[in-house]
Amino acid sequence: MLGLSLGSVSIPFKASLGLEALSENHQMIIHRIRIPRNLTAILSGAGLALSGLLLQTLFRNPLAGPSVLGITSGSSLGVALAMLSGVGLGLGMGSGGIILFAILGALAVLFLISFISLRYQDVTLVLIAGLMLGFFTSSLVSIMAFFADAEQLKPFVHWGFGSFSRLSPYQIPVLTISLLSGIILSIFSYKALNAFLMGDDFARSLGINVRANRLMIIIVSGLMTGVITAYVGPIAFIGLAVPQMVKLVFKSNHHRITLPATILLGAIIALACDIISRVPGSETALPLNAITSLFGAPIVIWVLFRTKKIKQRIA
């Protein structure tokens, strides 16, 4: 209800609840702008948070997140190819070409990570490879941005700020399908996810195919992150911070608890950050990435210090 009511134009809560008649302008704002935007925020936040939970489970590392495998950077490279080089626009594909190139960039990085994961079973090696691929693709994006014209660079920089307001009602089903597929596959891999928390050897002792399940987690996390990043831009820290918040609140790593809680809290946090970025009552809109970073960075720092203290106590 806050998402429907707050923004540059304030709409009474009773009207957004249907208890009062809406004016024609308010109806247009709610149905064409705020409902699609709120749904995008809910789906994107849930998907990024779920991806973060899956990756943190796989790598048994609280600092693993959706961008750790370089998937977000791969999407940025695809968008840069479409916007800065003009390849996508030159093919006459318009905004659909930009989305397509972003997904292809994410899938290209995902393919490399999947190949490394199949060839080497060391999760730390896969993690480092993902980080290096992220740095590599980011450097390519920086070089392309340096040589781009100002007219080409402006929309790319705007995309990099992140926004939940870009999707039309006809594009939201794509986000919905990607999130539902991730949730369904996570539920079917429920036993494997809990076993991975105890290590690969423990998972093998339970008869779990470690390689197949690891590859599944990487693919599911990568596809969800790639699709979300392609549509809304690179959104930072939600996938990194939300799973940690859930574990701290519920004091449990069991996926029967953390899986639904992470999905719900990710949706809530993303929607709250979007409402804040609108600066209610003003026509100003802050970069979404700045708001999520302000929220997520202190939590990640706190997790680092907390982990350090726990290790010192054990030692």
- Could you read off the pLDDT of 14-36 as tens digits, one per residue? 766 666 777 778 778 887 888 89
Asked if the model's pLDDT at residue 306 lies above 90, the reply is no
* Mean of pLDDT values over 214-228: 84
Nearest to 125 by CA among 57, 219, 58, 217: 58
pLDDT at 94: 53
Residue 24 half-sphere exposure toward CB, CA atoms < 13 A? 0
Q: How confident is the model at residue 43 (pLDDT cuts 50, 70, 90)?
A: very high
Instruction: Report pTM.
Output: 0.86
* Torsion sign across C-alpha atoms 216, 61, 197, 295: negative
pLDDT at 91: 47
Per-residue DSSP letters for 182-205?
HHHHHHHTHHHHHHHTT-HHHHHH
CA–CA gap between residue 311 and residue 315 (Å, rounded): 6
pLDDT at 218: 83
Number of domains composing the chain: 1
The conformation of residue 20, written as its DSSP 8-state character, comes to: S
* Mean of pLDDT values over 248-274: 91
The two structure tokens encoding residue 22:
């809406």
Residue numbers of the domain that contains 153: 2-314
Q: How confident is the model at residue 263 (pLDDT cuts 50, 70, 90)?
A: very high
Measured in whole angstroms, the distance separating CA 134 from the mean position of its chain's CA atoms is 15
* Mean of pLDDT values over 194-200: 86
| Residue type for position 92 | G
CA–CA gap between residue 180 and residue 182 (Å, rounded): 5
Convert 270-284 into a string of H (helix), E (strand) and C (coil).
HHHHHHHHCCCCCCC
CA–CA gap between residue 271 and residue 44 (Å, rounded): 9
pLDDT at 313: 60
Contact in structure between 277 and 150 (CB atoms under 8 Å): no
pLDDT at 215: 82
* Mean of pLDDT values over 165-179: 84
Asked if the model's pLDDT at residue 72 lies above 50, the reply is yes
CATH label of the domain that carries residue 245: 1.10.3470.10
Contact in structure between 100 and 174 (CB atoms under 8 Å): no
Contact in structure between 4 and 34 (CB atoms under 8 Å): yes
- Could you read off the pLDDT of 85-104 as tens digits, one per residue? 766 554 444 556 777 788 88
Mean pLDDT of the chain: 82
